[in-house]
Amino acid sequence: MSKAVFEPSIPSRPVYGALEPRTGISHLMIADAEGAEAILDMAGAAPPGFFANAHIIYIPKRTGTLYVERLQALAPAQLHIAPSYAAAEPRLKRVLSSSHMGLQLYLAGTEGLMGQVMREAIEAGIPHDAIQTEHRGSTARRVQCVHCKGITEDVTHDPFQCSHCGLHLFVRDHYSRRIAAFQGVRVDAEDPGNIPEAVERFK
Amino acid sequence: MSGAPKIAVTVAEVTPVNELVTRFRFVRRDGKPMPTFSGGAHTVVEMNDNGRIRRNPYSLMSDPADCEGYSISVRRDDQGRGGSLFMHRRVTPGMEMQISNPVNLFGLDLRARKHLMIAGGIGITPFLAQIKQLKATGGHFELHYAVRSAPLASYADELRAENPGRVRVYHDERGEAIDLERLLEGQPLGTHLYVCGPKGMIGWVRNTAARLGWPRGAVHHEEFLAPSSGKPFEATLARSNKVIQVGEHESLLEAIEAAGVDPPYLCRGGACGQCETDVLEHDGIFLHNDHWLTEEQRASCTKIMPCVSRFEGRKLVLDR
């Protein structure tokens, strides 16, 4: 089961929906790992010819080739498999800069991926409430250390040690759309050295 | 005092623009600067028509950075309720009037990469101020302006001369029409669309944009509804303990004001939501004409927008 249930939290914490086909002149879909399932599920509801104007950028991560053939079978106009978000980003920027109004954007997979693509899309001028998202797969978080500003990807434990400055950080639900990351705050600031045992909160 | 704060003004200039449109310029009586505004804002002009107070909203068309005065352009509507005829026939230079502080319900979304404007007829006025604002800040815009004929194309020549390559005018009488689908399909990502004009044009542009997948948040429109005339009716104002008669050519809001009650309002055109009024009792049919209430609210018969909506029936009791 790749669907996670997020407990209600502070307003800053992003919420996600379920992808549905929308009318538009073109469709850009970006997914990582189990996010492929959200695209495959949406395909069931899509009208004929929907994928003829679709461009899929897919980052398999640890799922390897598990979903690739099924994505190919949707016969999208373009399917680009990328080894990482960083590797896919220049392509994403180029697609956004040359796209026209009427483009529909569909994001699926981990919060880190969706958040980073959303940041680029907003930068390109798409209203944030016009971007569809669906969470699938890992709930690992992209976290920014508020002390050194370094970002650690795929954080599963709380507290965790900042991969940049080494401080032990408490992972908050406080989220920045601009940075596309949750906030990590030093857990032993009041009582240095008193570090609670790390718990695997995000799988 | 309801509505936006008032400004006491003198009419500085009355300039005919063409057969149907006249421009008015207002300056403050106290000599202070006018408040700055943002392109798309309107003012509500108060007219004392032989003791009957008319209040009509008009888009500000002057440069938002110009604090010396405000300009509006008024199209004469011979079939209307009389506000525009009053402006055309009775308002002369030197006359003292009251106007409201500017209110903007049609502002530019400055996150846009490009502003695509579609105007029909007198709907050009908010764009005149928006274009001045965008030119001062280096904004990217394009205007498509549909007019009936060249003699009635208010400000078209100035707009074309001052904004080469950015303004296109379409004349109905020459059979020219905006190729809307093609225009919308070619817009770069991050474009916001603005439309102001007749009701049919607004519906056409919004529906076409929705069909082509434009996000709702990137499509902006403004249409001031004039209150429609209709059968006279009676209303009870429960809180004020008054019974009022709404005349054939009077709006419910005007009748409430004429009874000495000071209800909230802002745009007086069914758009802003300020005058929303709770209905306590009713026996009859609501004639909802606003852009504000949802279908569910209309169906519930518990709300009315007295600026543009009417009632037909035996009994109407308002929480006012």
Q: Are residues A55 and A114 in the same domain?
A: yes
Q: Is A132 on the interface with B (CB under 8 A)?
A: no
Q: How far is CA B219 from CA A81, B37, B292, in A?
A: 34, 21, 17
Q: Which residues of B touch A (CB under 8 A)?
A: 111-113, 184-191, 193, 211-218
C-alpha to C-alpha distance for B30 and B7, rounded to whole angstroms = 9
Smallest CA–CA distance from B188 into chain A, residue: A100
Extents of the domains making up chain B: 6-104, 114-222, 233-318
Sorting pLDDT into bands at 50, 70 and 90, what band is B173?
very high
Q: Are residues A167 and A114 in the same domain?
A: no
Chain A residues in contact with B205 (beta carbon < 8 A): none
pLDDT, tens digit, 9 for 90 and up, residues A6-27: 888 999 999 999 999 999 999 9
Q: Are residues A120 and A85 in the same domain?
A: yes
**What's the confidence (pLDDT) of residue B104?**
94
C-alpha to C-alpha distance for B36 and B30, rounded to whole angstroms = 16
B187: nearest CB among A101, A126, A127: A101
Sorting pLDDT into bands at 50, 70 and 90, what band is B110?
very high
Q: Are B44 and B53 in contact (CB under 8 A)?
A: no
pLDDT, tens digit, 9 for 90 and up, residues B193-240: 999 999 999 999 999 999 999 999 999 998 877 888 899 999 999 999
Q: How far is CA B98 from CA B34, B44, B316, in A?
A: 13, 9, 32
Contact assignment for A102 to B213 by CB distance below 8 Å: yes
CATH level 2 (architecture), domain B6-104: Beta Barrel (2.40)
Q: Are residues A123 and A64 in the same domain?
A: yes
Q: Which of A109, A135, A161 is the last residue of a domain?
A: A135
Q: Are residues A159 and A124 in the same domain?
A: no
Contact assignment for A104 to B213 by CB distance below 8 Å: yes
Contact assignment for A130 to B189 by CB distance below 8 Å: no
Shortest distance, CA B114 to any CA of chain A (angstroms): 9
Q: Are residues A119 and A150 in the same domain?
A: no
Higher pLDDT, B241 or A4: B241
- How far does CA A100 lie from the centroid of its chain? 23
- How far does CA B150 lie from the centroid of its chain? 24
Q: Which CATH number fits domain B233-318: 3.40.190.10, 3.90.650.10, 3.40.50.300, 3.10.20.30?
A: 3.10.20.30
Q: Is A100 on the interface with B (CB under 8 A)?
A: yes
User: Above pLDDT 70, what percent of chain B?
Assistant: 100
**What's the confidence (pLDDT) of residue B291?**
87
Q: Is A24 on the interface with B (CB under 8 A)?
A: yes
The number of domains in chain A is: 2
User: Above pLDDT 70, what percent of chain A?
Assistant: 99
Over residues B183-200, mean pLDDT: 96
Sorting pLDDT into bands at 50, 70 and 90, what band is B307?
very high
Q: Are residues A30 and A124 in the same domain?
A: yes
Paired tokens of A1: 């089961």
**Is the residue at A17 inside a domain?**
no
3-state SS, residue B104: strand
pLDDT, tens digit, 9 for 90 and up, residues B36-49: 999 999 999 999 99
Q: Are residues A116 and A147 in the same domain?
A: no
A37, A41, A46, A51 alpha-carbon torsion, rounded to 10° = 20
Residue of A22, A95, A96, A101 to mutate, testing the B interface (most B Cβ within 10 Å of its Cβ): A101
Q: Which of A44, A46, A71 is nearest to A57 (CA)?
A: A71
According to DSSP, the β-strands at B242-246 and B233-237 are antiparallel
Q: Is A102 left (phi over 0), alpha (psi -120 to 50) or beta?
A: left
Contact assignment for B218 to A24 by CB distance below 8 Å: no
Average pLDDT, chain B: 95
Chain B residues in contact with A102 (beta carbon < 8 A): 184-185, 212-214
Q: Which of A95, A113, A135 is the last residue of a domain?
A: A135
Look at residue A132 and tell me whether its pLDDT is greater than 80: yes
| DSSP state letter for B229 | P
A110 contacts: CB under 8 Å, gap ≥ 6? A32, A33, A35, A135, A136, A137, A138, A139, A140
Sorting pLDDT into bands at 50, 70 and 90, what band is B1?
low
**Is the residue at A31 inside a domain?**
yes
Chain B residues in contact with A129 (beta carbon < 8 A): 215, 217
3-state secondary structure chain A: CCCCCCCCCCCCCCCCCCCCCCCCCEEEEEEECCHHHHHHHHHCCCCCCHHHHEEEEEECHHHCCCCHHHHHHCCCCEEEECCCHHHHHHHHHHHHHHCECCEEEEEEECHHHHHHHHHHHHHCCCCHHHCEEEECCCCCEEEEECCCCCEEEEECEECEECCCCCCEEEEEEEEECCCCEEEEEECCCCCCCCCCCCEECCC
**Is the residue at A33 inside a domain?**
yes
Contact assignment for A124 to B212 by CB distance below 8 Å: no
A29-38 burial, b if ≥16 CB within 10 A, otherwise e?
bbbbbbbbbb
pTM greater than 0.95 (yes/no): no
Smallest CA–CA distance from A126 into chain B, residue: B190
Contact assignment for A127 to B215 by CB distance below 8 Å: yes
Domain range for A106 is 26-135
Contact assignment for B111 to A125 by CB distance below 8 Å: yes
**What's the confidence (pLDDT) of residue B192?**
98
B216 contacts: CB under 8 Å, gap ≥ 6? A130, B210
C-alpha to C-alpha distance for B32 and B28, rounded to whole angstroms = 6
Tell whether ipTM is more than 0.95: no
**What's the confidence (pLDDT) of residue A2?**
65
**Is the residue at A3 inside a domain?**
no
- Fold of the domain spanning B114-222: Rossmann fold (3.40.50)
Q: Are A172 and A181 in contact (CB under 8 A)?
A: no
**What's the confidence (pLDDT) of residue A1?**
47
B190: nearest CB among A104, A125, A129: A125
Instruction: Identify the residue whose tokens are 């379920």.
Output: A18
C-alpha to C-alpha distance for A77 and A29, rounded to whole angstroms = 11
Chain B residues in contact with A177 (beta carbon < 8 A): none
A100: nearest CB among B111, B187, B218: B187
C-alpha to C-alpha distance for B59 and B41, rounded to whole angstroms = 6
Rg of chain B's alpha carbons, rounded to an integer?
20
